[in-house]
Structure 1
């Protein structure tokens, strides 16, 4: 078992019930999310939902929301003794970013991933290419897009939902 948080950074009001339905389908419990206005955009809502479930729960939540193209969200899954943690970030413009994380929440890049960044950068003969490759590998474009939406949610209370297995 693991736990995590589903952050809905921005969603059109009309999609709120669909997000609740999708999360409930993954968690196998009815979900009623406490929505708040998202001050960054007109007619947008934001919410946070803490959850507990099996190790595949984070991936299933991210997949369940994937088709909702106007929603900005993140799923964060804590590491367990058996598995790394994970983070999925999604924006309408960039799509989904996935990264494995360590116990402290740091993104972990594999040796093969770093080598791939180095090879792609070397092929361009551009001095800034490696920095751009590593920036993308670390999810920086997603962080830049989501940062303003994240700040709007500071200080919001969380409610835990647990899937019964």
Structure 2
């Protein structure tokens, strides 16, 4: 099933930019060139947003491919028939975060993860914040605001 989503590269050094485009092209199946803008939240870094369309699972493949680079990014995937939506966030300091999303974009925490949280005890508030991606949101928020009004390019998976 086809779906769509958005890839947000929140910060990348100019030296890494061609590698990010090359890695994304490998997942999307076509040559890509992003509209890179300066990232005010990290002087000397660049940012880009690209909307994509492709088969379900593309967001996961993008996240797996990009997490090896020293960049900050988020990638979303809309729900499609038989597949939940997804959100990935990555920062070099925190690593990769993954959550399922509902049709309206809310994060969905699976029952078994909530049961495990309750069984382990401890600080429930901190554990819930971690399940909801709080540390990633806190680190990425300044980078998100810097991108308001930035141009978005569409990428369509070939074949």
TM-score normalised according to structure 2 size:
0.97
Q: Residue 41 of structure 2 aligns with which residue?
A: 40
1:133 correspondence with 2:127: yes
2:78 is equivalent to residue 50 of structure 1: no
2: CA distance, partners of 1:111 / 1:37: 41
In 2: Cα distance, 1:57 partner to 1:160 partner = 14
Q: Distance in 1 between matches of 2:76 and 2:23?
A: 17
C-alpha distance in structure 2 between counterparts of 1:138 and 1:58, whole Å = 18
Q: Which runs of 4+ in 1 moved over 3 A?
A: none
Corresponding residue of 1:7 = 8
Q: How do residues 148-159 of structure 1 correspond to structure 2 at under 5 angstroms?
A: 148-159=142-153
State the Cα RMSD in Å.
0.8
Structure 2 residue aligned with 1:147: 141
Q: How many residues align?
A: 158
User: How far apart, CA to CA, are the structure 1 residues paired with 2:92 and 2:105?
Assistant: 24
Q: Secondary structure at the match of 2:63?
A: helix
> Secondary structure of the residue that 1:89 maps to in structure 2?
strand
SS of match in other structure, 1:118: helix
Deviation (angstroms), 1:2: 0.5
Unaligned runs of 5+ in 1: none
TM-score normalized with structure 1 length:
0.93
Secondary structure of 1:73's aligned partner: strand
Q: Name the CA distance, whole Å, in 1 between partners of 2:95 and 2:48.
A: 20
Larger relative contact order (Cα-Cα within 8 Å, sequence gap ≥ 6): 2
Q: Point out where structure 2 has 5 or more consecutive residues left out of the alignment.
A: none
Computing the radius of gyration over CA atoms, which structure comes out larger, 1 or 2?
1
Aligned to 1:74: 74
Q: Deviations over 1:27-66 (max 9, x none)?
A: 0100000100000112100000110001121111001101
